[in-house]
């Protein structure tokens, strides 16, 4: 079985890789969230282990980013120094399956990995269709529609639209969207976000007369809200 380990603490990562290797797992190690996001669509992993604090993205944001690119995520464990209740609730509600607080022992980590792999059902019956009012997103066909009308979206437009919908009412910065949707550095090409938002506003009719308002907040980012 193949595991993806995302942790920028090289010394600790080497220990974890050794433990997993001795247990018979193949491990791909990533030092940054962007590296993993770029690689993920081209690899199959049976399980992911994410550190929370990374140099470029937080672990939960990496999880959100890959959720945009796959109908079903591999089982996911957070290996983190965060043990506060609100932090644990955040990652579990976002879709993580389990967490292990650092520094974890070999026995505890392997027990959690094996227990999670045993209980994961490889057959997913999740409905690929998600509805937001009259807008419908088919995550399997990657198709958006409204009242029977299909909208032709590029891959990035689809990812961006779905992320806006899942974060209705939340102010999202351009740099955050570049990381999560594009898997790119937030310091470059944020103009891409503006162009794609403009396309979405037109293609998906995200205007008040159709029940939506996609607003640009000066020097901050964008917020999608329902207008009625």
Q: At which residue do the structure tokens 């389990």 appear?
A: 98
Residue 150 confidence (pLDDT): 93
Residues 113, 178 within the same domain:
no
Contact predicate 78/100, CB 8 Å: yes
| 3-class DSSP assignment, residue 55 | coil
Token representation of residue 206: 């995200």
Same domain, 74 and 27: yes
Does any domain span residue 75?
yes
In terms of domains, do 71 and 14 share one? Answer: yes
pLDDT of amino acid 185 = 65
Ranges under pLDDT 50 in the chain? 123-125
Please name every residue paired with 4 in a beta bridge, in sequence order, or none if there are none.
28, 48
How is residue 169 written in tokens? 């009412």
Q: Which domain holds residue 78?
A: 2-119
Q: What is the pLDDT of residue 184?
A: 65
Q: Please report the beta strands in the chain, taking only residues with DSSP state E, as ranges in sequence order.
A: 2-6, 26-30, 47-51, 76-80, 98-101, 129-132, 135-138, 143-146, 149-151, 172-173, 212-217, 221-226
Question: Which CATH number do you get for residue 69?
Answer: 3.40.50.2300
**Residue bearing tokens 């009625």:** 228
What pTM was estimated for this model as a whole?
0.60
- For residue 124, the model assigns a pLDDT of 47
pLDDT at residue number 127: 65
In a domain, 124, yes or no: no
Tokens of 202: 């037109």
Number of structural domains in the chain: 2
Q: Are residues 19 and 99 in the same domain?
A: yes
Q: Can you tell me whether residue 218 is helix, strand or coil?
A: coil
Residue 219: inside a domain: yes
- Measured distance CA(217)–CA(110) in Å, rounded: 46
Residues 45 and 150 in one domain: no
Residue 183: give its domain's CATH number: 1.10.10.10
Given a contact cutoff of 8 angstroms between Cβ atoms, the answer to whether 21 and 2 are in contact is: no
């Amino acid at each position: 079985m193949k595991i993806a380990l995302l942790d920028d603490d090289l010394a600790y990562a080497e220990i974890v890789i050794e433990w997993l290797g001795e247990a018979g797992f193949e491990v791909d190690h990533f030092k940054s969230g962007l590296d993993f996001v770029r690689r993920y669509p081209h690899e199959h992993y049976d399980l992911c282990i994410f550190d929370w604090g990374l140099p470029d993205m937080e672990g939960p944001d990496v999880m959100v980013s890959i959720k945009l690119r796959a109908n079903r995520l591999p089982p996911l464990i957070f290996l983190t120094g965060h043990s506060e209740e609100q932090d644990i609730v955040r990652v579990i509600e976002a879709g993580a399956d389990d967490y292990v607080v650092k520094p974890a022992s070999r026995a505890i980590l392997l027990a959690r990995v094996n227990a999670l792999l045993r209980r994961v059902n490889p057959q997913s019956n999740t409905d690929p269709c998600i509805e937001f009012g009259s807008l419908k997103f088919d995550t399997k066909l990657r198709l958006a529609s409204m009242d029977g009308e299909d909208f032709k979206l590029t891959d990035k437009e689809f990812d961006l639209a779905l992320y806006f919908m899942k974060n209705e009412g939340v102010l999202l910065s351009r740099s955050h969207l570049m990381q999560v949707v594009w898997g790119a550095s937030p310091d470059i090409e944020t103009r891409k976000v503006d162009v794609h938002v403009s396309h979405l506003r037109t293609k998906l009719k995200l205007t008040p007369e159709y029940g939506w308002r996609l607003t640009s907040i000066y020097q901050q980012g964008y917020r999608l809200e329902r207008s009625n």
